[in-house]
Amino acid sequence: MQSKLFRHIYSTTLVTTLLASSSLAFPSAHVSAAAEQTNLASITIDQAIDKALNNNADLELLRLAADTTYYDSLITLRDSQAIKEDSIYTFKDAQTKYKKAAEAKKDIAASKATMDALKSSLRLQVEKAYLEVLSLETKIKLQRQSIQRHFWYPSPNAEAKEALVKLQTSHQEALAKLNNLLLEVPDKDWKLSAYDLIQYQLSTWEEVQTIAYEKRPDMIKAEEERKLAEVKLNIVAKYSLSSSYDGKIARNNLKKAEILLQRTKSTVDKEVKEHYEKVISAKKVMEDNQATKDAAQKHYDQARSDYLNRKVSLDELIDIEAKLLDSEIKAADALYQYNVAVVTLKQSIGN
């Protein structure tokens, strides 16, 4: 509830004059902020992601390691291909050709999956930071608009100014977090592009689950371990006695790899399902808050008109405006929470 300290300072005649005027509270400050915004360097969310990925030393080290693994594995694969099948007579020969080739393929896939996992984590961090800055910019704009609607005060009241300062402080903190990911100075300001995922089409749970099984780095690693264990067992079955010690070890290793794969699937199911349901829930909250905001805007417009015609009191109008601002802030926050839920789901399924 806003303070009532200055509610009755102006007469209805003066208020009517102020309402009819095109100049609102602190227009010069608003224009100045807009001018500063135009001079800022622009950055889209995709550009921010690229910048963070290109500047991250840990990711570059993983990329170099993955490259090295790739070329080392190619040498192994080339050597194994050079061994003709009709020249394989012993279990050891078979291991040299098939086991080493399978290990090389697994190493390539695993090193790429490790690199992709870090890329995915960094991407999500940037998306969340970018969306947070955007959301706070929207809330600051809404707070300023509310102050401009306060024609009944000679200047913004203490509560409105304090709320604006808090939002600006949170904005600077969020900006520092984003700049840290971009390896920029903490207070570097940006002109961010509008971004939301309202049009995002949520697939069925079965489709999302299938994509996660195929694309998630942890699933890729677990499946590659299973494939390698299967190759080793096949080598034993074909070139050695399956009842031998080697055969027993190979069967145990395959069973272990299958159990670990199933455990990974269970973890994936639980995690992705949680994020999937959050998107559904966040979308409903967003739509409900948008509807509440639209209704509050209509209520305020009508109350403002009624106040000019002396049908509602100033106290009533002030309370209605406060409810409008509250609904606007909640709608902005609900959109932010929905966007975060969507990018988190996309990351959790490996997109």
Q: Give the orientation angle of helix 314-348 with respect to helix 100-149, to 10 degrees.
A: 170
Model confidence pLDDT, tens digit, residues 116-141: 999 999 999 999 999 999 999 999 99
Res 30: pLDDT: 47
Q: What is the pTM of this model?
A: 0.84
As a whole number of angstroms, the distance between CA 105 and CA 107 comes to: 5
- Shortest CA distance to 191 belongs to which of 42, 45, 51? 42
Tell the residue number behind the tokens 């509270």, with chain if given: 25
Give the side-chain half-sphere CA count within 13 A for 240.
20
Res 93: pLDDT: 83
Res 211: pLDDT: 96
Backbone dihedral angles phi then psi of residue 42, each to the nearest 5 degrees? -85, 145
The fold adopted by the segment(s) 42-348 is Outer membrane efflux proteins (OEP) (1.20.1600)
The stretch 201-224 carries a mean pLDDT of 96
State what percent of residues in the chain have pLDDT above 70.
89
Q: Is the pLDDT of residue 29 over 90?
A: no
Can you give the residue ranges of every domain in the chain?
42-348
Model confidence pLDDT, tens digit, residues 229-282: 999 999 998 888 767 888 999 999 999 999 999 999 999 999 999 999 999 999
As a whole number of angstroms, the distance between CA 132 and CA 130 comes to: 5
Given a contact cutoff of 8 angstroms between Cβ atoms, the answer to whether 144 and 189 are in contact is no
Could you tell me the two tokens for 104? 């090389």
Model confidence pLDDT, tens digit, residues 325-337: 999 999 999 999 9
Q: Is the pLDDT of residue 13 over 50?
A: no
Q: Is the pLDDT of residue 347 over 80?
A: yes
